[in-house]
Amino acid sequence: MRFLGIDWVGVNPENGQKLLLSLAFVMIVVVVSRVLRWLVGVILRNTDTAGLQTKFWTRQGISLLSAVILILGLLSIWFSDPTRLATALGLVTAGLAFALQQPVTAIAGYFVVLRGSTFNVGDRISMGGVRGDVLRLGFIQTTIMEMGQPPSVQGADPAMWVKSRQFTGRIVTVSNSKIFSEPVFNYTRDFPFMWEEMAIPITYDADRAKVEAILLDAARAFAGSERDIAADAKADMETRFGVDPIDLDPKVFFRITDNWLELTVRFIVTTHRIRAIKDAMSRQIIAALDEANIGIASATYDIVGLPPVELRRGTNPG
C-alpha cells in the first residue's frame, strides 16, 4: 500500500480496510458502553445500599459484555479463515503465558472474585496488606479506600499514622492476583457485625460487681445486642457458621494477673462504627467509675518502709 509517497510493508488495501473497520468498531463499542454505564449511574443515582450493589453489578456486566463483543468482532474482522485463527491464537496464548504472567493472573483473579463472591464494592476487606473499603473492582486491580489500624496491629507493614479503623485519605490499588497468594479478610459480606472487646484493669479490693455492671450498661447502651441484629442475619449466621445467637449479648469476663484483676467486656458492633461506639462507651465507663470512686489499676510501686537513717558527727582526734 502506497501512502504519502511511502510503500508500507505488510499493508495492502484489504488490510487497510480491515484496520479502518476495526477502529470504527472499537469506537462504537466503547461509546455505547460508556453511554450505557452513564445511564445506569443516572438511573440508580440516589439509591440505598442494595441499589449501589445493583449499579455496580450492572456496570460490571456491561464491561464484560463489551469486552466479549470487542474480542469476537475483531476476530471476525481479521480472521475469516479458521486455520489462521487457530495458529494466531496459539502464538498469542504462548506469548501471553510467558510475558504477561501477572496481568493474566490478575484477570483470572477478577473472575474468581466475581464467581466466588469474595468481596463486593462497599465491603470492608483486608487484601494484599491493605485494609479499607472497596471502591472499584477492575479487570486488573481493585481500588480500596485505605483505613488506619488499631494499636494492636500498628507494627504491620505498611505502618499507619491513623491509630484506629478510620479512613486515612489514601486510595490504594491492589492487584487481583493477590487473592491466589494471600488470604482476603472480609468484614462485612457474610455478617455485617464484629465482636469487639474492651479491657479494664482494677485492683483486687475494688467493687468487682459494680465495675461489671458499669461495663455491661455501657455495652448495652451503645453497642449491638441480639435484638439489634436482623432475624435473617442471625439465621444465616447460625446456619452457615454454627454460631449460637445467645453469644451476641454483651458479657464480661474476668482474668487474674499478678498486678490487677482484668475485666473484659465482649460485645457485638457494626463494622463501620467501631471507633465512635468505643469512644462513647469509654466516656460513660470513666464517668461511672469516677462516680463510684473506683480507680483503674496501673503498674505502680508502693514504698512500705525505709531503713533507719543515722547521722553521726565525726570527732577530730587532734
**Same domain as 89, residue 12:** yes
Indicate if 180 and 202 belong to the same structural domain.
Answer: no
Beta bridge partners of 186: 125
177-223 pLDDT per residue, tens: 898 888 898 888 777 788 889 999 999 989 999 999 999 999 988 88
pLDDT score of 3 more than 60: no
- Number of structural domains the chain divides into: 3
Of the candidates 99, 116, 138, which is a domain's last residue? Answer: 99
Is 308 contained in some domain?
no
Would you say residue 296 lies in a domain? no
pLDDT band with cut points at 50, 70 and 90 for residue 75: confident
Q: What is the pLDDT at residue 65? A: 84
pTM: 0.60
Structural domain range at position 150? 124-186
Backbone angle region of 114, left / alpha / beta, with phi > 0 → left and psi within -120 to 50 → alpha: alpha
If asked whether residues 202 and 257 sit together in one domain, one would say yes
Of 117, 134, 111, the C-alpha closest to 64 is: 111
Look at residue 56 in the predicted model and tell me its pLDDT: 73
Answer whether residue 282 shows pLDDT above 90. yes
Q: Are 156 and 77 contained in the same domain?
A: no
Which helix (H) or strand (E) covers residue 212, if one does? helix 208-222
- pLDDT (tens digit per residue) in 110-167: 888 887 678 888 888 999 888 899 988 888 899 999 888 765 555 555 556 666 777 8
Residues 224, 225, 231: CA angle, nearest 5 degrees: 105
Q: What is the pLDDT of residue 265?
A: 93
Measure Cα distances from 184 to 116, 141, 238, 273 in Å.
Answer: 12, 14, 22, 21
Same domain, 88 and 128: no
In a domain, 297, yes or no: no
Q: Are residue 6 and residue 88 in the same domain, yes or no?
A: yes
> What average pLDDT does range 238-248 have in this prediction?
69
CATH code of the domain covering residue 212:
3.30.70.100
Q: Are residues 224 and 256 in the same domain?
A: yes
